[in-house]
Chains A and B, each alone.
Chain A
Amino acid sequence: MAIKDKLSGNEAIAVAMRQIDPDVVAAFPITPSTEVPQYFSQFVANGQVHTEFVAVESEHSAMSACIGAEAAGARTMTATSSQGLALMWEMLYIAASLRLPIVMSVINRALSGPINIHNDHSDSMGARDSGWIQLYCENNQEAYDNLIQAIRIAEHKDVQLPVMVCYDGFITSHAVENIELIEDEKVKEFIGEYKPQYSLLDRDNPISMGPLDMPAFYFEHKRAQAEAMKNAKRVILEVAQEFEKLTGRKYGYFEEYKMEDAEVGIVIMNSTAGTAKFVVNELRKQGIKAGLIKLRVFRPFPFEELGKALSHLKAVAIMDKAESFSTAGGPLFTEVRSAMFDYAKDTKAVSYIYGLGGRDVRPDEIMGVYKDLLEIARTGQVKSTFNYLGVRE
């Protein structure tokens, strides 16, 4: 039976890491991710895990140590936020291109400057093309569930790619909510033993990793890396199915909330999706056919599936908690609208950038977005494609 508990997002992640019991954790503290290595190092000190905990001097070193450990054949995990992720940047690409299945929690926080410790998605959105799989989480439960599934996805022989599990700083990381945990032994059984295909410490099969790749070969290796990302699409669903059998909790590329008969909807990620569900319920009470899609898997991007899921809407708002400075909407908008070009040509799409630097998003503001969408649906006219929600004009 599931274990009912109440935990903050960071506590839930630390518990999941204790149950996973990785071989190596190398981490450097940064708000709001600090509690993850802090709680986990207590498990190490108490002897509850067999993990080698490497306290490093920077996030660049943290990711470097993770790469070294994973290349040596160790199941390796870490956590970071914001500037920490930014400092890891060059190593992120190396982890992915060396095909090292490291699993990292990214506790989403705005990037400086100006300096800000609060939540938005500019950190992980900036790393979207680094070759890491990215899973996004609405609450502590999803953070916990996704972290456990991430191990299986990353280490699958057809994938062999690192995974970021992203959840909102403070809003999810520091809020205590109800959660259902899985028993330790069931988690162990689900993730299985890590058997790396190639490892530097395999004496019988000597190997070099990270060689210079000339123009005659680099492109082929990148093409193979892209194929692994394609394979991840299949593996993510397979792992989700197994996870559902274990827990009864259903996961896919995205969650469709009251979408079957919806006429207007929004596409959104992480904790604000929960607030938006509350708004959808309020609208439904008024007889308005509102729905929402909460994207879980941003990398690989579910291009066809998401495009098709929006095809029956009259209007959709795509909400970004990150600014791309393209002057043409946030990163999520750009990609969703690109999918809609092939699969949802008749649905009007608008962009909203919201919640930057921890600006709280109130239900009435999201209600305002739906009101805008209803107006677009009624008139068939889009007055403003690129919008900001909750900024003082």
Chain B
Amino acid sequence: MGRMIEIRWHGRGGQGAKTASLLLAEAAFDTGKYVQGFPEYGPERMGAPITAYNRISDEPITIHSNIYEPDYVIVVDETLVSAVDVTAGLKKDGAIVINSAKDPEEFRPLLKGFEGKIYTIDARKISVEELGRYFPNVPMLGAIAKITKLMDEDAFIEAMERSFHHKFATKPHVIEGNMRALKRAMREVKGL
């Protein structure tokens, strides 16, 4: 049986963490994986901490519980690092990816003794520079694909491009911006 990767997302209501988890599922599906993408529904308020999950595997996935011991944790809003126990259950050999301009090791003291790998990606800077607005999802996805090596890099980039062509058929300039943001994030992720 192939390895199943489990991912937990932390974001704030309205920031698109749920959408990002669904986009990751879609990209992984497009590269031939079995996927799950599901949010944990709570009181849905703008700004409230929310959690979403992904399972990605080479084999069909039957398990339908939440994820308690993730391989990866992704933090879409760095203020959550001190507000939520983001490393809860995170595997020792797992990794955390934080959307921040800071260096990864600056977060180590905040992560309650977590000894695994820490990565940061400045999704805000990349997004603002390439898209003109703050949409952190695409740079985050680029960083995750790079870090997790879940999917073949070229296959992932092709899958994302197909998906952008589908979504932004009438706005080709948006496709180019997103592709630049994606590739830049794959280069600029810190902690590799």
Contacts and interface: CB of A to CB of B under 8 A. Distances in A.
Complex: A in contact with B (CB within 8 Å): yes
Interface of A: 6, 117-118, 138-139, 168, 170-172, 174-178, 271-272, 274-275, 277-278, 360-363
Given A117-B41, A362-B68, A6 B63 contact: no
Contacts of B26: 6, 176
B160 interface: no
A274 B63 contact: yes
Contacts of A275: 62-65
Interface of B: 22, 25-26, 29, 34-39, 41, 60-66, 68
Nearest to B62: A274
Contacts of A139: 62, 64
Given A6-B25, A6-B35, 18 more contacts: A6-B26, A138-B62, A168-B64, A170-B41, A174-B38, A174-B41, A175-B38, A176-B22, A176-B25, A176-B26, A176-B36, A176-B37, A178-B34, A178-B35, A275-B62, A278-B63, A362-B66, A363-B65
A6 B56 CA distance: 13
B62 A278 contact: yes
A34 to B, nearest CB: 12
B151 to A, nearest CB: 14
A275 B63 CA distance: 4
B41 A171 contact: no
Given A6-B25, A6-B26, A6-B29, A177 B65 contact: no
A277 B34 CA distance: 17
Contacts of A274: 61-64
Contacts of B35: 6, 176-178
A175 B36 contact: yes
Most A C-beta atoms less than 10 A away, residue of B34, B60, B63: B63
- Please provide the 5 A-B residue pairs with the shortest distance between their CB atoms, ordered closest to farther: A175-B38, A274-B62, A271-B64, A176-B37, A6-B29
Given A6-B25, A6-B29, A362-B68, A174 B62 contact: no
Contacts of B60: 178
A274 B38 CA distance: 15
A40 B68 CA distance: 35
A175 B37 contact: yes
A277 B29 contact: no
B63 to A, nearest CB: 4
15 contacts: A6-B35, A118-B41, A139-B64, A174-B39, A175-B36, A175-B37, A176-B22, A176-B36, A177-B61, A178-B29, A274-B64, A275-B62, A275-B65, A277-B62, A278-B62
Given A170-B41, A178-B60, A362 B36 contact: no
